[in-house]
Amino acid sequence: MASGWGAALAAALLLSAILAAPLASPEPAVLAGAISPTPQPTVPPSAAPAMPGESRPAFPHWPPSGAGITRPVELVDVRGRTAAAFQQALDRARDELGLYALALGVSIDGQAGWSGASGVALDGVTPLDGDSPFAIASITKTFTATLVLEAVERGRIGLDDPVSDYLPRVKAARGVTVRQLLQHTSGIADLLVPMREPMTADPERTWTGAEVIKRLGGPWSAPGAAYGYSNSNYVLLGMLVERVYRHDFDEVLRRHILRPLDLGETGVLLGRGAPPLMPPSWASAFGTSGNMYASPSDLVEWGIALYGGRVLAPETLVLMTEFNKDDYGLGTEAIHLGSRTGIGHSGLLRGYTSVLVHLPGENVTIALIGTWQGFDPGGALLHSRNGKPSILDVVLDAAGLRPEAAESATPTPAPPGG
């Protein structure tokens, strides 16, 4: 049976193959939609059942203790040979995988960090660095799920409440609970198929969540009967957040997460001050399932805060990471990188592919974002050729788990005039 991010990525890549046309310029073909991590192509999400209640904690000695109080994290920049090794591994992976750009953010022990980029923006000329904004696609779901779970902690929402208690006019959500939306067991069909044609036909149009949900076809399954990765679930969760807080999602996100954590290079794609990274039709239709942007440096800070216990209470974080047989919890996935398993999420939308992963055993957090028609972000972290260390190798070197490779790295020469 496919893993959570494997099944979702397989479905996304299958649909992107149908949609994509050969590229003549640095403008990516239309991709399937916001997804989830380790690509092991098999079956679409609707065909990968996992019964509710068949869940398992991924890490028996996790999460870390904490009070669930947000606070900014200041990382000390990694320099010298280690920084050079990061840049070299990033350059190699981008070149060998044929990507327009590849950007990386890394945290070691929540204290030291590095961020950088290789390549140029999709316009073919704009240089990139670790503070450049990228669309993060389905990593958006980690933010949406966190706002919902925070509302649960505050007593505003019950995990097993019917969604119709909050959104009584939404027919597609009848008989579905909040928990089922979070864990993709609602049976509600994904939005891509009914929205693909109108999104493409009028790329400047903006859609509301209610308009998107009304266009859905029949359900994939009965509520609670099976696992099926569907972006529609998280569009509904965004509508729920807006209903209980009586503010736009953008404002709730800023007040509850972005400002407390000082994530100044993160936001909603169509929000105020947002960079023009995606056509309005696509950004608005995928909405709170995939419509956010972030810099690699901000994204890794988010991973440290969320999975390091600085946002949600420990018991809530445990709920978030109780994974079903398809490796999906409540807005978080189990991500397999070789022999290591982490927690996080991945994304794929309109030429942007990304992954955020925290390795609890190593206390390492990694954000990787690339631009091209679609590639395996986990595979990019593990990519190695001719005996050269992979990005993950260099991260582990810096964490003191493979010290020999980092010591042997050759510093990147300064550019002429630099």
Supply the pLDDT for residue 290.
Answer: 97
Q: Give 290-308 pLDDT, tens digit per residue.
A: 999 999 999 999 999 999 9
> Could you tell me if 150 and 256 are in contact, meaning their C-beta atoms sit under 8 angstroms apart?
yes
The conformation of residue 328, written as its DSSP 8-state character, comes to B
Supply the pLDDT for residue 23.
Answer: 29
> Could you tell me if 162 and 223 are in contact, meaning their C-beta atoms sit under 8 angstroms apart?
no
For residue 112, the SS3 value is: strand
Confidence of residue 56 (pLDDT cuts 50, 70, 90): low
Alpha helices in 2-124 (DSSP H): 4-19, 80-97
CA 299 distance to own-chain centroid: 9
This prediction has a pTM of: 0.85
Scanning the structure block, which residue is given the tokens 């046309």? 21
Q: Give 340-361 pLDDT, tens digit per residue.
A: 999 999 999 998 999 999 999 9
Between 32 and 9, the more confident residue is 9
Q: Give 329-343 pLDDT, tens digit per residue.
A: 999 999 999 999 999
| pLDDT of 285 above 60 | yes
Scanning the structure block, which residue is given the tokens 């960090």? 113
**What CATH number does the domain located at 4-45+54-408 have?**
3.40.710.10
Token duo for residue 342:
């982490």
Q: Give 236-270 pLDDT, tens digit per residue.
A: 999 999 999 999 999 999 999 999 999 999 999 99
Q: Give 148-206 pLDDT, tens digit per residue.
A: 999 999 999 999 999 999 999 999 999 999 999 999 999 999 999 999 999 999 999 99
> Could you tell me if 30 and 350 are in contact, meaning their C-beta atoms sit under 8 angstroms apart?
yes
Strand pairing category for 352-359 and 340-349: antiparallel
Supply the pLDDT for residue 31.
Answer: 28
Supply the pLDDT for residue 12.
Answer: 46
Closest CA to 302 of 262, 334, 338, 272: 262
| pLDDT of 59 above 90 | no
CA separation (Å) from 119 to 115, 179, 231?
Answer: 14, 40, 30
Q: Which helix (H) or strand (E) holds 77?
A: strand 76-77
For residue 106, the SS3 value is: strand
Q: Give 362-403 pLDDT, tens digit per residue.
A: 999 999 999 986 789 999 999 998 889 999 999 999 998 764
Closest CA to 282 of 274, 273, 291: 291
Tell me the C-alpha distance between 134 and 81, whole Å: 27
Q: Which residues contact 413 (CB under 8 A, 6 or more apart)?
A: none
